Amino acid sequence: MLNSVSITPPNELPRAEPPQPRAKTRLAADDRRRQLIGIGLSKLVEKPIQDLAIDEVAAEAGISRGLLFHYFATKREFYVACVAAAGRRILRNTAPDPELAPTDQLRAMVGLFVEQIDRRRDFYLSLVHGTGGGDVGVVAVYEKIRDQLTGRVLTTLALNPNARNVVHAWWAYVEDHAIEWSGQSRDRRTRSVDDLIDHNIAALNALLDLP
């Protein structure tokens, strides 16, 4: 009987059991879609949408390329979903405090928009100017972002709906100035962010013939 007992020598530690492989987690379809879009968004910070590699996204998610296409029928559908998610993030990040006075909300909207572009300039450029090679679906998503920004201004300032086209064009003006300003090195900028905000608001007031 004693011969059947295993005794560990006094100076030798017992051998640890080899680690067991971690069981793969099966995600619900909606959760997997959100995961894949999240990975796509993180890649968009580094590269234009047209350079986003499906194989890289699938590998990071721990699934096959074929399984990714189970959740998104085509590469284009996945790209459009990523751009739409990026647009929703921009809208969240530029939403003003509704408790502020209307003029302060407008100022906050412009300031947050400029800050968004300044902080993620390459990402923003890849989103709106590298729109999937002119893909109609991606362009439509971008236009929806501009439309919602326009609607915010109309609601905040209680403007006549007839002013929509003017405000829509004004946002393009704000964007253009923000992109140009953010492309300058910080020590060579000729105006402060407050000056830029003031300039853009003055432009809107002039377009709307407001005091």
CA–CA gap between residue 206 and residue 161 (Å, rounded): 17
pLDDT at res. 106: 97
Mean pLDDT, the chain cut into blocks of 10 residues (211 residues total): 43 43 62 93 76 90 93 90 88 93 97 93 74 66 90 96 96 95 91 96 92 57
CA distance linking residue 197 with residue 106, whole number of Å: 10
Please give the DSSP secondary-structure letter assigned to residue 45: T
What is the 8-class DSSP label of residue 4?
G
Contact criterion met (CB below 8 Å) for 108 and 130: no
Distance CA 35, CA 41 (A): 10
CA distance 189 to 191: 6
What totals of helices (H) and strands (E) does the chain contain, helices first? 9, 0
Give the pLDDT confidence of 59-76 residue by residue, as tens digits: 999 999 999 999 999 988
- pLDDT for the residue 179: 94
Residues 198 and 111: their CA atoms lie apart, in Å, by 10
DSSP 48: -
Q: How far apart are CA 134 and CA 46, in angstroms?
A: 20
Tell me, what's the pLDDT at 80? 86
Distance of alpha carbon 41 from alpha carbon 135, whole angstroms = 18
How many other CB atoms are found less than 10 A from the CB of residue 75? Answer: 14
* Chain centre distance of CA 41: 6
Helix, strand, coil percentages for the chain (3-state, nearest 5):
70, 0, 30
Residue 162 has a pLDDT of 95
Task: Say what the pLDDT of residue 22 is.
Answer: 35
pLDDT at 52: 81
Per-residue pLDDT, 20: 41
d(CA 51, CA 62): 20
Report d(CA 84, CA 78) in Å as an integer. 10
In the chain, the domains with their CATH numbers are 29-208 (1.10.357.10)
